[in-house]
Structure formats: structure tokens, C-alpha cells
């Protein structure tokens, strides 16, 4: 998996994970990478710092090590991001058919021309999602679970 910092034509910045650099390029070329804030498909990679791991753990210089262990910092969700995710979910649900665990079967059938093409969403195991991408079948992971799975 690879994480990219992305930026849309309107300047919204966000991050997303992709199976590989090729998977990002394939999805972006077909318009399947969209800004979660405004829905723009005109998205490009932006500058990001690489994740570098070292053999030594460094303590945060502004917080003593004992405080870090005793009081982990958890921030509240960004209200703008929460609203963008809600809007994305509403858009997907309004414009797509929920196929549940049949997602892989239906997406493959549409890709092969055995079923009429339509927008769908559903549930996919990680290994099946990887296989879809490897087979060139356009699929994008969504950052939410179906409402049937929530309380």
C-alpha cells in the first residue's frame, strides 16, 4: 500500500491509500479519484514528506516521555472532514446501487460485459479488492461502512 497526498483543482488537500503507484495512475486516468470535499475528478499528487523510520525511537521534544505514555493525545474529528465524508456517503448512496457482498461478482461481470454497467457499492474483503485492481477492474475503497453495519 502507498499513501499519497493529493490536491484537487480547487486547492482542497487530502490523503488516500492505493495498492501501488500503478493503481493510482489507473484510477486517476479513469476519473475514479475524486476530491472528497467537492467531488472534482481533477486531482493530482502534491508534495509530501516520505515516511522514514529509524532504529531509535525519539521522544517528542515538547512533551516529556512520561507524559506521552500516560496521556495519549486524541484529537476530535475535523468537522469539515466529517461533513465531506457525510456528503460523499450521501452522493454514493443516491447515485449507486448497494450490492452488499456481491460487489466482486457484479463488478467483474460488468467489466467483462456480462452485465449492464451501472454504479455500485458494496462490501469487499481486502484480498478481493487487491485482485480487482490487479485485474484492471476499476474499484475504489470508500472511507465508510454501509449503514446496515452501524448502530
d(CA 129, CA 132): 5
SS3 state at 69: helix
Domain count, the chain: 2
In a domain, 81, yes or no: no
pLDDT in tens, the chain (151 residues): 788 888 989 988 888 888 888 888 888 888 888 888 888 888 888 766 666 666 665 555 554 544 444 555 556 667 888 788 888 888 988 999 999 999 999 999 999 999 999 999 988 888 898 888 888 888 888 877 656 544 4
User: Are the CB atoms for 118 and 92 separated by under 8 Å?
Assistant: no
User: Are the CB atoms for 45 and 51 separated by under 8 Å?
Assistant: no
Q: What range does the domain containing 37 cover? A: 1-49
In a domain, 78, yes or no: no
SS3 state at 103: helix
In a domain, 72, yes or no: no
d(CA 120, CA 100): 9
Whether the predicted model's global pTM rises above the 0.85 cut: no
In a domain, 69, yes or no: no
d(CA 13, CA 107): 29
Amino acid at each position: 500500500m502507498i499513501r499519497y497526498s493529493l490536491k484537487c483543482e480547487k486547492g482542497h488537500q487530502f490523503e488516500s491509500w492505493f495498492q501501488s503507484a500503478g493503481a493510482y495512475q489507473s484510477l486517476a486516468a479513469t476519473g475514479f479519484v475524486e476530491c472528497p470535499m467537492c467531488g472534482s475528478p481533477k486531482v493530482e499528487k502534491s508534495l509530501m514528506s516520505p515516511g522514514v523510520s529509524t532504529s531509535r525511537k525519539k521522544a517528542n521534544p515538547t512533551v516529556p516521555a512520561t507524559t506521552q505514555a500516560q496521556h495519549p493525545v486524541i484529537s476530535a474529528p475535523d468537522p469539515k472532514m466529517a461533513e465531506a465524508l457525510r456528503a460523499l456517503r450521501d452522493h454514493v448512496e443516491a447515485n449507486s446501487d448497494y450490492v452488499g457482498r456481491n460487489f466482486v461478482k457484479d463488478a467483474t461481470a460488468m467489466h467483462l460485459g456480462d452485465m449492464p454497467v451501472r454504479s455500485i457499492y458494496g462490501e469487499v474483503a481486502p484480498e478481493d479488492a487487491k485482485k480487482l485492481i490487479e485485474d484492471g477492474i476499476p474499484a475504489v475503497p470508500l472511507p465508510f461502512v454501509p449503514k446496515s453495519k452501524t448502530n
